[in-house]
Structure 1
C-alpha cells in the first residue's frame, strides 16, 4: 500500500500571482533617459534577468549591471522597489491553495525567481508563508526547465514522482515535469486547473 502523501506543487508567477514587467519599466524609467520599451527589454525574461534568477549575481550586482545597461540614476532601495512592485494575487488560485492546506495536502512553491521579488512577495502577501516547502531557482543555481531543479524539488518532498502534481503556465516547464514522472497541468484558466487538481486527488 502506498502511504506517501501527495503533494501539489505550484509555479508562482502567472499561477498564484499575476505580474507585469511593464509596471517596473514605467517606474524605472523615472530614473533613466531611456524609454520604457528599452528598459522592458532589459528586464522581461532577458539574459540579465535569467542570470539573476539563477543566482549567479547578488542583488547588488544585478542592480549595478541593470543601472549601467539602462542608465539608471537611483538608490538601491529605489531600484528594488521599482523592480519588485509588479505583482497582484490571483484570488481563486490563492484560495484554492489555502483549501488544500486545510485538507492536509502539502503544497510547494517551485519558481524561477529572484531574491528581490521573493523579499517583496513575502512582505506583501501573507499567503506566501503558508507553503510546506519552497524550491526557488536563485537558491539552487539553475532554472526550470532544467530537470536538475526538479530533482531538488522532488527531494524536498521525500516522495516518488507519482505522488507529485505540478501546475505551471509554461509548456516547457510542464513537459520537463512529465519527463521526471510527475503529473502536471499546463495552467491557463484557474477553473480548469482547480478541476484538474481535484480530479488527481480523487476529490
Structure 2
C-alpha cells in the first residue's frame, strides 16, 4: 500500500538516548553498573513515560535509595546530558519529507516534563504534523492501544503508515496492526528505505 504518512520514534531515531553514557562519564563505568544493578532506573523512567510527574517520580526513587540519592537525582538534574545530541541525518530526513508534503507523525515513549525540556532544546521536535507522546496519552509502546489511537486521531489507515523505531518489540506491535515498519539502526538505513519505497529521491534523502 502507498505510504500516506511517516511515523518517527524520537529516542535513538531523532535524538540519542543513552543514559548510561553520561553516568559512565560522571561516576565511572563500574559505579554506574553497580547503580543500574541496584536500581531499575529505566523502569522508573517508564513510569514517567506513562505520565508520572518527572521530578516527583525521580525524587521518590532517590528517597528509596539514600545510598544512591545523588546518582538517582542525576536522572532529573542532568536530563539534557542523558538525552541527545540530535541525529543530524534523521532530522534532515524529517525535513525532507515535510518539504515534499509527506505527513510526518511522532510516536514516542516520552514523559510530559521531559518532552517539554527536549522541545525547548531541540525545536525541530515541534515540526511534526501530529505528535503522539506517551506521557500525555497515559499509554506506552508496545501497547496496541497507542497504535490504535494514532490510527484514529490521524485518520491514516494502518497500511499507509510507515513507522521507524529502534526497538524490535515496538516494530512488531505496529506490524501486528498492519503498519509498514522499519527497524531503525541508523539514519543511513532509513534513508535507503525511503528511497527504495519511492518516497524520497537519493538527492532528497542525502
TM-score class, shorter-chain normalisation, is 0.7 to 0.9
Higher mean displacement: 17-26 or 125-134 = 17-26
1:132 corresponds to which of 118, 129, 133: 129
Deviation at 1:155, TM superposition (A): 1.9
Name the structure 1 match of 2:59. 64
1:156 aligns with 2:132: no
Is this contact kept in 1: 2:44–2:58, CA < 8 A? Answer: no
Question: For residues 79 and 44 of structure 1, what CA distance do their matches in structure 2 show?
Answer: 8
Deviation at 1:169, TM superposition (A): 0.8
1:102-181 → structure 2 map (5 Å cutoff): 102-181=99-178
Deviation at 1:66, TM superposition (A): 2.3
Name the structure 1 match of 2:203. none
Distance 1:120 1:38, change over 3 A: farther
Is this contact kept in 2: 1:25–1:37, CA < 8 A? Answer: no
Deviation at 1:144, TM superposition (A): 0.8
The alignment partner of 2:105 has SS state of strand
Alpha-carbon displacement from aligned partner over 1:14-57 (angstroms, at most 9, x marks no partner): 1111122124536886xxxxx43344453653x222122112x2
Name the structure 2 match of 1:6. 4
Is this contact kept in 2: 1:5–1:159, CA < 8 A? Answer: no
TM-score w.r.t. the length of structure 2 is: 0.82
Is this contact kept in 2: 1:80–1:116, CA < 8 A? Answer: no
Deviation at 1:156, TM superposition (A): 2.5
Question: For residues 70 and 83 of structure 1, what CA distance do their matches in structure 2 show?
Answer: 19
Question: For residues 55 and 41 of structure 2, what CA distance do their matches in structure 1 show?
Answer: 19
Question: For residues 200 and 189 of structure 1, what CA distance do their matches in structure 2 show?
Answer: 17
Question: For residues 179 and 187 of structure 1, what CA distance do their matches in structure 2 show?
Answer: 17
Deviation at 1:145, TM superposition (A): 0.8
TM-align CA RMSD: 2.8
Question: For residues 115 and 86 of structure 2, what CA distance do their matches in structure 1 show?
Answer: 14
1:37 aligns with 2:33: yes
The alignment partner of 2:156 has SS state of coil
Q: Which runs of 5+ in 2 are unaligned?
A: 201-206
How many pairs does the alignment contain? 194
Distance 1:5 1:178, change over 3 A: closer
The alignment partner of 1:148 has SS state of helix
